[in-house]
Amino acid sequence: MKLKTEILGSDKHKTIAMLHGWGLCSKVFYPVVDSLKDRYRIVLIDMPGYGINSAIPANRCDGIVSSLEETIPENCALLGWSLGGILAQKFAITNSKHIRALITVSCSPRFTSCPQEGWPGTDAKLLKKFSTLISQNNCQAVLDKFLSLQAMGSERMREDIKTIKGLLAEAPSPSYYELQAGLKTLMDEDLRNNISRIQCPSLHIFGLKDRLCPASTKSIWGRKDNSHTIVFEQSSHAPFITQTKEFNEQLLLFLDKYYL
């Protein structure tokens, strides 16, 4: 099923599609859009059950990727943040000839930690706790807790949360079913054995103070000529909110050089 999108910028420009994180919608990217729209055509994609696609039933990872195959324009750059980063990686793995560049933000091939393998990430018990807490009547309260967890560590924690809430003020809230489906994807997906299939140039952005996706996971990407990692030292889970100017500068540098 093709998803509805919000498109900004001229059709004459190259395209970058963006996928949001758990519990939010693509309006969270507006601070990034402002710096890109004069030079790129931006396609903002809300996952099923979110934002302008709130009427579409929730889906798991494979189902969403199938919808993205009908939605994402060919030969575009693809950016995914957090949960959206997992979807972006899976899309790049299964549609290697479809996109020209990949950008992941605060995400890794496996979101949950695996202590026995020395793999850092979010404790699966924490995500299971959020899953248990969510009911039909308290979705917004649980989302507020998760926003606080995302911003934790940032010196601008309160400002970051206020900014995100302001951007999403008029967006419909996801339901219990969408939130549960997203948590299952965060808990279950493990793409580590497949990332070698990502052949396009890639940029992987982390926040040094991120408690959910530690910057140490950058080592998984190795040292390839077309694969790059950046760590924003003052940021937690949303570097495009905490260090907007620096984030936009680095994103444009990458796109201008590698999105050919």
Instruction: Please report, for the domain that includes residue 64, its CATH number.
Output: 3.40.50.1820
Q: Which two tokens stand for residue 172?
A: 């419909």
* Res. 223 pLDDT band, cuts 50 70 90: low
For strands 76-81 and 41-45, give the pairing.
unpaired
**Residue range 191-220: mean pLDDT, rounded:** 93
Question: What is the C-alpha separation between 50 and 53, in angstroms, rounded?
Answer: 5
Which residues constitute the domain of residue 128? 5-258
Question: What is the C-alpha separation between 25 and 49, in angstroms, rounded?
Answer: 10
- pLDDT one-digit tens code per residue, 90-145: 999 999 888 999 999 999 999 999 999 999 999 999 999 989 988 888 888 889 99
The total number of structural domains in the chain stands at 1
What average pLDDT does the chain have?
A: 93
Lowest model confidence (mean pLDDT) among 25-29, 224-228, 229-233, 246-250: 224-228
Per-residue pLDDT, 59: 81
* Residues assigned a catalytic role: 82, 210, 237
pTM over the 0.75 mark: yes
Q: Which two tokens stand for residue 105?
A: 């933000």
* Res. 220 pLDDT band, cuts 50 70 90: confident
